[in-house]
Chains A and B, each alone.
Chain A
Amino acid sequence: MAGGTVAAPRGFRPTSGLLLVLGLFLLWEASARTGMVDSPNWPPLSRVLVALVRDTASGEIPMLVGSTLARMFAGLAAGTIAGIAVGLLFGASTMAQRVLGPTVELIRPIPIPAVIPPLVLFLGLDNGMKITVAAVSAFFPLLTNTAQGLRAVEADQIAMARTFGVPAWRRLFRVTLPAILPYVMAGLRVALALALVTTVVAEMIAGEQGVGHYLVLMQFAGRAEEMYAAVLVLALLGYALNRGFLWVERRSIAWYFATGRDG
């Protein structure tokens, strides 16, 4: 064996990997059709796809996805704003970090599904609770990245703006925020993935809304085709959101990538 690290094969060509995926799909289909796996929990892939197309055409799945996404983005927006605000405070003032830091660090490691029961008490089962769950999960990555970004760029650029007498408020929006944008975007990417997961988790545990609830409902009802269709929808959603984000990131901080700090 030649050994060593090998560069990733670039560009599209039919590789063994795509054949493997195709083979696994065929195996799924065949195992369900020929009775190799004879179980109501194991419908053939084709029937799952039929259910997916049918429920998409009927508008049921688009409606569920829409309501899940609406909650997710509302929570993401709230969590992002709060995370950036507290991150700026922590980055700008060591005292603020010392006073509030330990409290934040006590809350951070709580696994998010566990905050759902108390939130249900305060906010009920519907939108308010789920948006809050998504916001809490988005808050921490943005807080960390904003504070780190601020410390990383502080010295040069902000001091320069101060030297030129740029007023504080203008400095924030014209110098500080653009300068730390790459850090914020990195945090936002993590937060986006987290917000989708936590919104779906909240839907699974409480209330009767969105793709998460649909998934659990179909499992209880023993409607395996619809359940797998919901899993496929979530996989596509996760993939599309990540792709979409990369696209936005490339455009919003093109200067960052242009200066060769790719990564």
Chain B
Amino acid sequence: MPYSPGAAMRPERLLRLVPGLIFLALLLVALEWAVTTGLIRRALMPPPSAIWEVLQDLVTSGEVLGPLTATLRLVFIGFGIGSVIGIAVGTAMAWWAPAYRLLEPLVEMVRPLPKSALVPPLMLFLGIGDAMKITSVALAVVFPVLVNTLQGVRGVDRVLLDSARTHGWGTGRALWHVVLPAALPFILAGMRTSLGLALIIAVLSEMLTGQGGLGFLILDMQRSFLIRQMYAWLVILALVGLALNALFAWAEARALHWQTRNG
């Protein structure tokens, strides 16, 4: 799990991956064998080679692009909106006591609510289009970011703030140049949790609305008994999840390079 994407892929790091990749390859071969010999029913699990063929078709025909961009759009817009709100409100609550007293009970009430449960009510108000899906994603994203920002900003060393004030920095400048950078590791940890949630809620809202995107397709293929297609889209979604994680880890490592260097 704790891989450091910032580090270059040195030969020994690549070498370490070998046993895992061999195992993965063996697993696929075993699966292929189990399906072709009838150990696993073909109706439940097509052979990996058949899924691979469908995948190739989806990619070469460009069919993959529409649903892929639909889901990614939801995730990115919802994640962006939710993160900005979470950081802004979290900072305000940590920085300014009246904001904390005003909002803390509300946050503590809404936070434990499983955000997936909000999708059906939101469908009543916002319909089944993008507005509903983006709102659902943003709602799920806000709270982990907010809580982590609150903790991070609270933990900022007072000496840093005092020295900023000694230099005559105003509140805005101190927030932007001192507080937010110091709280960044916390904020990013919250955003990492939220990114996973964003994808979950995006897929769920696509499934519940029966519209667009990878989530809908996976459910639709299963209900239409197009099993190979279902697995192919599932593989694509898994790769999306993997890519989003890797992208975030890369961005996080870049944003925090000063921190890792200091140990």
* Contact, CB under 8 Å: A117 / B221: yes
Which chain B residue has the least Cβ–Cβ distance from A243?
Answer: B112
**Nearest Cβ on chain A to B172's Cβ, whole angstroms:** 11
Does A231 touch B at the CB level, under 8 Å?
yes
* Contact, CB under 8 Å: A114 / B215: yes
Which B residues lie within 8 Å of A112 (CB)? Answer: 200
Taken residue by residue from 83 to 124, chain B's Cβ proximity to chain A (1 for < 8 Å, 0 otherwise) reads as: 000000000001111101111111001101111111111011
Which chain B residue has the least Cβ–Cβ distance from A6?
Answer: B97
Which A residues lie within 8 Å of B158 (CB)? Answer: 4-5
* Contact, CB under 8 Å: B97 / A21: no
Total contacting residues, chain A, CB less than 8 A: 62
Cross-chain contact of A102 among B23, B119, B161, B227 (Cβ < 8 A)? B23
* Contact, CB under 8 Å: A238 / B112: yes
Which stretch in A12-20, A27-35, A164-172 binds the other chain?
Answer: A12-20
Q: A4 with B24: in contact, given A41-B124, A205-B207 (CB under 8 Å)? A: no
Cβ < 8 Å to A, chain B residues 205-241: 207-208, 214-215, 218-219, 221-222, 227, 230-231, 234, 237-238, 241
Cβ < 8 Å to A, chain B residues 191-214: 196, 199-200, 202-204, 207-208, 214
* Contact, CB under 8 Å: A111 / B222: no
Which B residues lie within 8 Å of A160 (CB)? Answer: none
Which chain A residue has the least Cβ–Cβ distance from B246?
Answer: A109
Measured between alpha carbons, how far is A115 from B231 in the docked complex, in Å?
Answer: 10
Cross-chain contact of A98 among B19, B115, B153, B174 (Cβ < 8 A)? B19
Taken residue by residue from 95 to 123, chain A's Cβ proximity to chain B (1 for < 8 Å, 0 otherwise) reads as: 10011111101110111111111101110
Measured between alpha carbons, how far is A205 from B244 in the docked complex, in Å?
Answer: 25
Does B17 touch A at the CB level, under 8 Å?
yes
Does A1 touch B at the CB level, under 8 Å?
yes
* Contact, CB under 8 Å: A8 / B117: no
**Nearest Cβ on chain A to B241's Cβ, whole angstroms:** 3
* Contact, CB under 8 Å: B196 / A231: no
Which B residues lie within 8 Å of A118 (CB)? Answer: 222, 230-231, 234
**Nearest Cβ on chain B to A128's Cβ, whole angstroms:** 14
* Contact, CB under 8 Å: A235 / B218: no
Does B261 touch A at the CB level, under 8 Å?
no
* Contact, CB under 8 Å: B203 / A231: no
**Nearest Cβ on chain A to B151's Cβ, whole angstroms:** 10
Does B16 touch A at the CB level, under 8 Å?
yes
* Contact, CB under 8 Å: B227 / A121: yes
Does B11 touch A at the CB level, under 8 Å?
no
Which chain A residue has the least Cβ–Cβ distance from B104?
Answer: A17
Does A24 touch B at the CB level, under 8 Å?
yes
Q: A16 with B242: in contact, given A109-B196, A205-B219 (CB under 8 Å)? A: no
Which stretch in A58-66, A175-183, A194-202 binds the other chain?
Answer: A194-202
* Contact, CB under 8 Å: A231 / B113: yes
* Contact, CB under 8 Å: A4 / B114: no
Does B245 touch A at the CB level, under 8 Å?
yes
**Nearest Cβ on chain A to B193's Cβ, whole angstroms:** 9
**Nearest Cβ on chain B to A240's Cβ, whole angstroms:** 9
Q: A106 with B242: in contact, given A17-B101, A231-B118, A234-B114 (CB under 8 Å)? A: yes
Which chain A residue has the least Cβ–Cβ distance from B158?
Answer: A4
List 5 A–B pairs whose Cβ atoms lie within 8 Å, in order of A's numbering. A16-B102, A113-B215, A200-B116, A216-B208, A219-B120
